Amino acid sequence: MSPAARALGLPALALVLVAVVLGVQLAQDGGDFEPARTADPCAPREVTSQSDGIEGLTERLVLLGIDGAACRLDVSREELTLEIGQGAEPTDAEVDALREGLHAAVQRLDDDGDLPPISDLTDEALDNADLNRFLEAAIRALPDRVVDGALKTDDVLDRAIDDLDLRRLLNDLDDADELNQQVAASVEQAVKDALLDRLRNLI
Amino acid sequence: MRRAVAPLLAVTVALVLADSAVVTLALPDILLHLDATVTEVAWVLIAYNLVLGVVAVPTAMGLVKVPPRLFSAVGIAAFAGASAWCAFADSIEVLIIARCLQALGGAFALVGCLELLVAAYGERRGVSTWVMAGVVGTAAGPFAGGLLTDLISWQAIFVVQVPFAVLAVPAALAIWTARPLAGDRHRPDLRANLTLALLSAALTAALFLLVLLLVEGWRHSPATAAITVSVVPAAALLANPLARLLRPTHAAEVGAGCLLVAGGLVGLAIPPSSDLAWTIAPQALVGLGLGLTVDQLTYRAMELRLPRAKHAAWTIGSRHLGIVAGLLVLTPVFTADLLDAQEPAQEAITALVIDAPLPADDKIALARSLGQELQGERGRVPDLSPAFDRVEVAPEDRPALGDLEAALDEQLERAATRAFRDSFLIGAGIALLALLTVLVPRRRQDRRPA
């Protein structure tokens, strides 16, 4: 074996082996095996819910609302969720951003035609509302088209969002039952109040 | 019995050098069992290598005053006693002290066994057996330790060493040989020892960090990790046949070895997924590199230099202080990176939970359960399965919950892999530094000892 082959043979073989191994790994996206990056909260995102009715609508509103709030606060949705989920006292900016985000979420669902007619929510709201039996029967007797003509879902939801005690809600995040109760109660109350207003006007 | 004497001494050399990394896969178990911190448990490794590295040369200087057979027998007995003490240690402090004594006994055993193996086999074969036993021990240590930890317990690592060492004591006493001559006839080979130290520091990334990634980051059992890292010793054994085939010069062999170690570590830094298969080829490169370099550099550092034991001790000192340097450089980097990885991992997990196709109540319950699990960890990669076990969902939602658990585990694996990347790359950089020491031309008078 020549001196050149003895001096260069093994290093050349080593270089080829290293190039092949690293080449195959890079071709298979080696180096990109990292935690998923968070999405831009300002970019439109499709949200879905496994639940129906008021609970499903609430979940979609909250998901879009957190996106909107995160966009306003210039943080990621996940960062904001972790921040408020870890028990820290929410700041005024966070509460305001969340409320604005929820209003924007209502607008977005309305623009997309994804808000259900209010008549889809009234039965559920009335089931959980502690109303006079005669009044409840009167509201239930109203035809859906009358209810839908009289009330707009986005108005009702905006009213519910304004009525929500967001600071208390964020402090109760650890208690799922309390959280659901507060959100559902607020939406139901808004539906009920709007219906009663309209009924009074009709009478 | 006479035939078993020299092999027993070779096994002792392998055991002493295997102990340098043998507890790597047992560290998570030791951490839990002795209620230690990550830093304390790292000292189980560091203390052994530090003591072995520091005392090797002074120990070899003492060899001229005591017959090698007595020297070895005392060292092996101390090593065996300290190993037994390690197995029964009931606190991390006791374990670290026992490891220091183990290393002290190991240093006596290593330099003494070299003289005894030369007496038994002759100069060339004796030195060759001593060097190869060391390479095999170093490479196979994590494999053996992982299997024992998984099959029995971490204490078993130390218990199984005792009978071998006890048998080696009479074996050492059975070989009569003269004391080596006093006085330094030759200076240490600085270049070979420096290259050895740098390569050992780089190999720390493969022998120490890889097993941590497999066990702590990717959540494999120590046995699975042990079988996986057995690629390194297997590939190291292939290095000699390869070198015989190509008959490279010394510089070419060591240079190629450094290149292979560096390339292998870069490969370990950028796996396309957490599939164990992606570690095989990079480990094979590291193993080949280890096989081509460590024995060559050890031979070169000892070749025609007297006193033999002292120059052997210089190689032990270089290797083990190199390992300590590697641990001291790499441990803070990867622990800091592991902490830095928490935020992106938490955000990725949060995103997956928010978007999971599960009822909102189940998501909130799961988020709370995950939060509890993450708080219970002490800077380690969390095991999320208990959090999922605590959450009860409707039967129709169980497949979605299972998919979510798999997705979250993958995010943790991604975060852990990312956290180890910089350390592997630093290891690769150190291997390239070792390559530089080979590439710098030798001065004419440095080529052989006077």
pLDDT of B450 higher than 50: no
Q: Quick check: B267 and B281 in contact, CB under 8 A?
A: yes
Q: Which residue among A35, A49, A59 places its CB closest to the CB of B418?
A: A35
Which one has a higher pLDDT value, A139 or B303? B303
CATH of the domain at B49: 1.20.1250.20
Among the partner-chain residues A28, A33, A82, the one whose CB lies closest to the CB of B414 is A33
Task: Determine, for residues B347 and A35 on separate chains, whether the beta-carbon distance falls below 8 Å.
Answer: yes
ipTM of the complex: 0.87
The residue that leads in pLDDT, B382 or B393, is B393
Q: Which of B243, B255, B415 sits opposite A35 (nearest CB)?
A: B415
Tell me the shortest Cα–Cα distance from B266 to chain A, in angstroms.
Answer: 8
Q: Which of B178, B196, B231 is the last residue of a domain?
A: B178
Give the span between the Cα atoms of A15 and B421, in whole angstroms. Answer: 22
For B199-218, the DSSP string reads HHHHHHIIIIIHHHIIIIIS
DSSP B55-105: HHHHHHHHTTTS-HHHHHHHHHHHHHHHHHHHHT--SHHHHHHHHHHHHHH
What pLDDT shows up at residue B381? 74
Q: Looking at the domain assignment, is residue B309 inside a domain?
A: no
Flag whether B345 is in a domain: yes
Residue B90 lies in a domain: yes
CB burial of B71-95 (b: ≥16 within 10 Å; e: otherwise) equals bbbbbbbbbbbbbbbbbebeebeeb
Q: Say which amino acid occupies A182.
A: Q
A17 interface with B at CB cutoff 8 Å: yes
Are A17 and B266 inside 8 Å of each other by CB? Answer: no
Of B249, B282, B414, the CB nearest to A21: B282
Question: Which chain B residue has its CA at the smallest distance from A57's CA?
Answer: B360
Q: What pLDDT is attached to residue B379?
A: 58
Look at A36 and B350 and tell me if their CB atoms are within 8 Å.
Answer: no
Contact A38 B347 (CB under 8 A): yes
Q: Is A35 on the interface with B (CB under 8 A)?
A: yes
Residue of B240, B258, B270 to mutate when probing chain A, most A C-beta within 10 A: B270
Instruction: Locate B337 and state its tokens.
Output: 């990176």
Q: In terms of CA atoms, which chain B residue is nearest residue A55?
A: B360
Q: In the numeric block, which tokens belong to residue B341?
A: 């990885």
- Is B92 part of a structural domain of the chain? yes
Distance from CA of B261 to the nearest CA of A (A): 9
Q: Distance between the two ends of chain B, CA-based, in angstroms? A: 41
Q: How far is B437 from B251, CA to CA, in rounded Å? A: 10
Contact A174 B359 (CB under 8 A): no
Q: Does residue B197 fall inside a structural domain?
A: no
Q: Chain A partners of B243 at a C-beta cutoff of 8 Å? A: 10
**Structure-token match 């030798």, residue found:** B442
Q: How many CB pairs under 8 A join A and B?
A: 156
Contact B246 A9 (CB under 8 A): yes
pLDDT in tens, B263-285: 999 999 999 999 999 999 999 99
Give residues 51 to 110 of A whose Cβ lies within 8 Å of B: 51, 55, 58-59, 63, 66, 76-79, 81-82, 85-86
Residues of chain A in contact with residue B348, where contact means CB-CB under 8 angstroms, are 35-36, 38, 78
> CB of B10 within 8 A of CB of B136?
no
Contacts of B270 in chain A (CB under 8 A): 22, 25-26, 30-31, 33
Check residue B37 and report its DSSP letter: -
Type of residue found at B123: E
Contact of B60 with B310, CB cutoff 8 Å: yes
* Position B179 pLDDT exceeds 80: no
* Contact of B28 with B146, CB cutoff 8 Å: no
pLDDT at A128: 67
| pLDDT tens digits for range B211-240 | 888 988 898 888 898 899 889 989 998 998
For the stretch B349-376, pLDDT in tens is 889 988 888 888 888 888 888 877 776 5
Residues B109/B83, Cβ–Cβ less than 8 Å: no
With a CB cutoff of 8 Å and minimum separation 6, the contacts of B43 are: B92, B96
Q: How many domains does chain B have?
A: 2
The mean pLDDT value of chain A amounts to: 83
Query: Taking a C-beta distance cutoff of 8 angstroms, is the pair B317, B327 a contact?
Result: no
Residues B344-353 have a mean pLDDT of 89
CA distance B73 to B174: 10
Over the stretch B13-50, which tens digit does the pLDDT of each residue have? 999 999 988 888 888 889 888 988 877 888 999 999 99
Choose the closest CB to B260 out of A14, A39, A82: A14
Rg (CA), chain A: 28
Residue B281 lies in a domain: no
The verdict on a CB contact (< 8 Å) between B348 and A85 is: no
Type of residue at B191: R
The 10s digit of each residue's pLDDT in B134-174 is: 888 888 888 888 889 889 999 999 999 999 888 999 988 88
As a whole number of angstroms, the distance between CA A71 and CA A68 comes to 5
| Residue at which a domain ends, from B151, B178, B205 | B178
Most confident among A192-201, B300-309, B389-398 (mean pLDDT): B389-398
pLDDT of residue A156: 84
Question: For residue A127, what pLDDT is reported?
Answer: 74
- C-alpha–C-alpha distance, residues A8 and B253, integer Å: 9
Residue B320 makes CB contacts below 8 A (sequence gap 6+) with: B20, B49, B50, B52, B53, B56, B200
pLDDT in tens, A59-84: 888 889 999 999 999 999 888 888 88
Give the pLDDT band (50/70/90) at residue A100: very high
pLDDT tens figures, A151-179: 788 888 888 888 888 888 887 766 656 66
What is the model's pLDDT at position B221? 87
Q: Residue B346 falls within a domain, yes or no?
A: yes
B90-140: pLDDT as tens digits = 999 999 999 999 999 999 999 999 989 999 998 889 999 998 898 888 888
Kindly state the tokens that stand for B439: 């590439």
Q: Which of A28, A33, A79 is opposite residue B417, by nearest beta carbon?
A: A33
Question: Given an 8 Å threshold on Cβ–Cβ distance, is A32 in contact with B358?
Answer: no
Nearest to B268, CA basis, from B284, B282, B288? B282
A65 chain-B contacts, CB cut-off 8 A? none
A86 contacts on B by Cβ (under 8 Å): 371
CA distance A111 to chain B (A): 22
Q: Do residues A51 and B360 touch, judged by C-beta distance below 8 A?
A: yes
Residue B178 carries which DSSP code?
P
B350 contacts on A by Cβ (under 8 Å): 78, 81-82, 85
List, as own/partner pairs, every contact residues A179-185 make where C-beta atoms lie below 8 angstroms and the sequence separation is at least 24, other chains included: A179/B364, A180/A55, A180/B360, A180/B361, A183/A58, A183/A62, A184/A54, A184/A55, A184/A58, A184/A128, A185/A128
CA distance A26 to chain B (A): 8
Q: What is the span of the domain harbouring residue B407?
A: 338-416
Distance CA(B294)–CA(B240), nearest Å, equals 11
- Residue B311 domain-assigned? no
Which residues of B are less than 8 Å from A25 in CB distance?
267, 270-272, 278, 282
Assigned token pair, B246: 């190509």
Question: How many Cβ atoms from other residues are within 10 Å of residue A185's Cβ?
Answer: 16
Residue of chain B nearest A19, judged by CA positions:
B263
Q: Is the pTM of this model over 0.90?
A: no
How far is residue B249's CA from residue B231's CA, in Å, rounded to a whole number?
Answer: 26
Picking from B108, B143, B178, the residue at the C-terminal end of a domain is B178
How far apart CA B373 and CA A107 sit, in angstroms, is: 38
Q: How far is CA A187 from the centre of its chain?
A: 16
Helix axes B277-302, B250-269, angle to 10 degrees: 150
Cα–Cα nearest to B191, from B437, B440, B447: B437
Average of per-residue pLDDT across A14-35: 95
Q: Can you tell me whether residue A170 is helix, strand or coil?
A: helix
**Which residue among B248, B264, B361 places its CB closest to the CB of A176?**
B361
pLDDT of A107 over the 80 cut: yes
Token output for B90: 């009931």
Mean pLDDT of chain B: 88
B393/B412 Cα distance (integer angstroms): 23
CB–CB contact A1 B292 (8 Å) = no
Pair of tokens at residue B247: 């008959």
Contact B351 A49 (CB under 8 A): no
Supply B139's token pair. 């490479």
Q: B170 preceded by cis ω (within 30°)?
A: no
User: In Å, what is the CA distance from A73 to each residue of A79, A89, B318?
Assistant: 10, 16, 55
